[in-house]
Amino acid sequence: MGRLLGIDYGEKRVGLAISDPTGTIASALDTILFKSKKDLFQQLKERVVSEDIAGVVVGMPFGMKGQVTAQTETVQQFITELRGQLSISVDSADERLSSVEAGRILREQGHQPSRNKGMVDSTAAAIILQSYLDGKKQ
User: Structural domain boundaries of the chain?
Assistant: 3-137
- Can you tell me the distance from the alpha carbon of 13 to that of 25, in angstroms, rounded to the nearest whole number? 23
- pLDDT for res 8: 95
Task: Give me the amino acid identity at 99.
Answer: S
- pLDDT for res 2: 86
CATH number for the segment(s) 3-137:
3.30.420.140
- pLDDT for res 27: 96
Task: Give me the amino acid identity at 53.
Answer: I
- Can you tell me the distance from the alpha carbon of 110 to that of 124, in angstroms, rounded to the nearest whole number? 17
One-character DSSP codes across the chain: --EEEEEEE-SSEEEEEEE-TTS--EEEEEEEE-SSHHHHHHHHHHHHHHTTEEEEEEEE---TTS---HHHHHHHHHHHHHHHH-SSEEEEEE-TTHHHHHHHHHHHTT--GGG-HHHHHHHHHHHHHHHHHHHHH-
Residue ranges in the chain whose pLDDT is less than 50: none
- pLDDT for res 135: 87
- Contact predicate 93/128, CB 8 Å: yes
For the entire predicted model, the pTM comes to 0.87
- pLDDT for res 1: 66
